[in-house]
Amino acid sequence: MDYVLLLQRIFDALFNSAIYSSLALALVIIFRATGLLNFAQGEMATFSGYIAFVFLVGPQPRLKGGGLAGLIPGVPLSVPLAVMGAVVAGMAVGAATEKVLIRPLRNAPELSLVNVSIGLLLVINSLMAQWWGTGPRVFPALFPTGAGQNFDIFGARLRYSTIGVWALLFVVLICLIFLLKRTRIGLAFRAVSINQTNSELVGIPVGRILMYGWALAAGFGALAACISANSVLLEPSMMLRVLVYAFAAATLGGLDSPKGALVGGVIVGLSQTLIPAYVPFIGFELSVLPVLIAMTVVLLVRPAGLYGTKRIERV
């Protein structure tokens, strides 16, 4: 066995792992607080990616005249600023979604929430396709990815971009932990996640806290989109496949565990690269298959995943 190659593959996989981890985190934050899986998370993230794109090169509508949008000049921002802008805009969209579409349905059956998130997925997807077209757009890399921009570790190349992405994710995570453990809003958010009725009784504005939760989740989604837009190219459906991996990561780690989302993302990223490399039958196209099977098995055998809370059902 070629250990250098194995190490190289692991290093390459870690980049995707960061993407899956952050999108999985977005899913987990919402699921933990509301028990809803936001199927539109990927599209919301892609939309933020396009916002960053607009910040960088202008609206670039697909239509020739572009209507009024053609008149808007580009805002030439530097890449970090554009990403930050996209994260903030994405958070606003997330908060608005909660306020307008989710909050009125608080007592509605689960099916209604599924319907709304599916409707949102369709709407955002076709809006993006309408505005920017379905063709892929070039998006700059957040961190240097060129040849030679890497560390040599035992002959394998660990790229700066992989390290940069993980460093970014860790900084954001530390901020998140600080927010959750050290601030009043974080305390309220944790209370709401545990029990909504009781939180309401002690005077926590549950609706507003959930709105912050949605904003936070959308922020992680936006980050995931901006990280991945360079390697998969920006197009309206780019996050759909990523969403499958992120769902798998979240399920594997336990749908209500942020730690699980991180670990799950790493496992899914590794298996996506390593399994096709060592099992020739699977190949590149089927690389999603083992992940999907693993997700099914986890849901069947251990719905709580690695770190999730076990739910006890009355029989």
Partner 1 sequence: MMRTSARMRQLQGVGLVLITTWLFCLPFVSTTTELRQHTQIIISVLAVLGVNIATGYGGMISLGHGVFVGVGAFATGYFVDEMSLPWLLAISMGIVTASLSGALVGIPALRIKGIHLALLTLCMAIVFQPLSKRFPAFTGGVSGKAIEARFEAPIWLGDSRMASAVYRYVFCILVVLFALGLTWNLVNSRAGRAMRALRDNDTAAAIYGINLVRTRVITFSISAGLAGLAGALQVVLVPYVSQDNYSVQESLVVYATAVIGGLGSIWGSVLGVVARTGFGALGERLSGVDGFGLVSEFFELLDEQAFVFGVGLIALTFVFPRGLAGIGTKNKQQTGS
Residues that bind partner 1 (CB under 8 A): 35-37, 39, 63, 67-69, 101, 104-105, 108-116, 118-127, 129-131, 237, 240-241, 243-244, 247-248, 251, 283, 285-286, 288-289, 292, 295-296, 299-300, 303, 315
As a whole number of angstroms, the distance between CA 225 and CA 84 comes to 12
The minimum distance between CB 197 and partner 1, in angstroms, equals: 20
The minimum distance between CB 285 and partner 1, in angstroms, equals: 4
The minimum distance between CB 286 and partner 1, in angstroms, equals: 6
The minimum distance between CB 142 and partner 1, in angstroms, equals: 26
- Based on CB atoms, which residue is closest to partner 1, 35 or 76? 35
- Based on CB atoms, which residue is closest to partner 1, 24 or 169? 24
Q: How many other C-beta atoms are found inside a 10 Å radius of the C-beta of residue 167?
A: 12
Q: Confirm if 58 and 74 have CB atoms less than 8 A apart.
A: yes
Rounded to 5 degrees, what are φ and ψ at 157? -100, 120
As a whole number of angstroms, the distance between CA 239 and CA 309 comes to 28
- Based on CB atoms, which residue is closest to partner 1, 124 or 168? 124
- Based on CB atoms, which residue is closest to partner 1, 177 or 286? 286
- Based on CB atoms, which residue is closest to partner 1, 11 or 131? 131
The minimum distance between CB 313 and partner 1, in angstroms, equals: 10
Read off the tokens for 18: 């960061």
Q: Confirm if 45 and 237 have CB atoms less than 8 A apart.
A: no
Query: Could you tell me which residues come within 8 angstroms of residue 41 by beta carbon, excluding any fewer than 6 positions away?
Result: 23, 26, 27, 30, 217, 218, 221, 243, 246
